[in-house]
Amino acid sequence: MIGRRKKGERAGITETTAATAADPIGARAAEMPGREVTRFGHGSRVPGWDDAVDLDKDPAQIPDPATTPVPAALREEIEAHMAKYPDFRSAAIPALAAAQRVHGWCSPEAIWQAACVMRLTPGYLIGVASFYDMLETQPVGRHSVYVCTNISCSLCGADELLARLEEETEGDPDFNVRHFECLGACDIAPMASVDGIYVGPITLDEVAILVEQIREGTPPLPGKQLRKRKSTDPGAARPVAGDADPGAAPAIEGGADPITPTTTYGTPMGGEITGPPAAIEEAPPPPEEDDDT
């Protein structure tokens, strides 16, 4: 005769094994005498313990601020980035970029300093730095010149531009010249990012001038920097604060300096638009209901 099972017990599974199946990590921790496993409110393990087998190891180390010197300006910049996000880990990329500007690349020291300020493990930041192309994990020249070689720039001569830049900077250890998949500035193709400054369109005749400006530490091709281009959108115009015109748009500090576009594209297909405007299309009437039920 088969005996009745206890309440909450399934065939072949006791309450203990059921709990183990539901929470194997918790069960494993319970079997470890003398060790208390810290958990957060949502149930995750302490940072640095990624797998159950890692419970036998100490948590990954976070750099100690008392023994990790961090430049004051770098600390201030990283903390400013952290304050922008609900989850401070979202500031990992700008924090690493800031450390890279100080050290020239994401060196172990740069990673350690950023991790110290952000209270993260160096391994977490190494994973971020090794994934994103703009973060260098090997020593490179202190001047980074990234040439966009995506379709728009490539059609406008980006490959020739890259070859000329490599020729002009050959043998100079201060330059890190390479192609970049897309920099998102198709309207100034072919273009390049020069130490983070978007410049374009760059002609082959301007390459020697650009390289010399970089070596001298002067602004690269000032007249072709994207951030210095004036707005061509008339709707972007705003009066300077203090304008007495009561009918003017709301004033903003500094105002704007729009310019009138010099290029027009004309009417569709190059022809004149004639005739009355098209009638507005109306939705069809709903179908009549059948009275028969």
For the stretch 11-25, pLDDT in tens is 444 444 444 455 554
- Tell me what pLDDT residue 202 has: 96
Q: How far is CA 221 from CA 32, 42, 203, 209, 232, in A?
A: 65, 53, 11, 8, 21
In a domain, 52, yes or no: no
The C-alpha atoms of residue 224 and residue 209 are separated, in whole angstroms, by 13
What's the CATH code of the domain at 103? 1.10.10.1590
**Angle of helix 92-103 versus helix 108-118 axis, rounded to 10:** 140
Count structural domains, the chain: 2
Q: Looking at 228, 254, 269, which one is the last position of a domain?
A: 228
End-to-end CA separation in angstroms for the chain: 63
In a domain, 202, yes or no: yes
- Tell me what pLDDT residue 59 has: 60
pTM of the model: 0.54
Selected residue with higher pLDDT from 20 and 198? 198
Q: Check if the beta carbon of residue 122 is closer than 8 Å to that of residue 112.
A: yes
- Tell me what pLDDT residue 248 has: 47
In a domain, 255, yes or no: no
- Tell me what pLDDT residue 169 has: 95
In a domain, 179, yes or no: yes
Is the same domain home to 134 and 161? no
Q: How would residue 288 be classed by pLDDT, with cut points 50, 70 and 90? A: confident
Is the same domain home to 134 and 160? no
Is the same domain home to 100 and 74? yes
In a domain, 189, yes or no: yes
What's the CATH code of the domain at 163? 3.40.30.10
Domain that holds residue 147: 143-228
In a domain, 86, yes or no: yes
Taken as a whole, the chain contains a residue count of 293
User: Could you read off the pLDDT of 31-55 as tens digits, one per residue?
Assistant: 544 444 444 444 444 454 455 555 5
Mean pLDDT of 149-162: 95
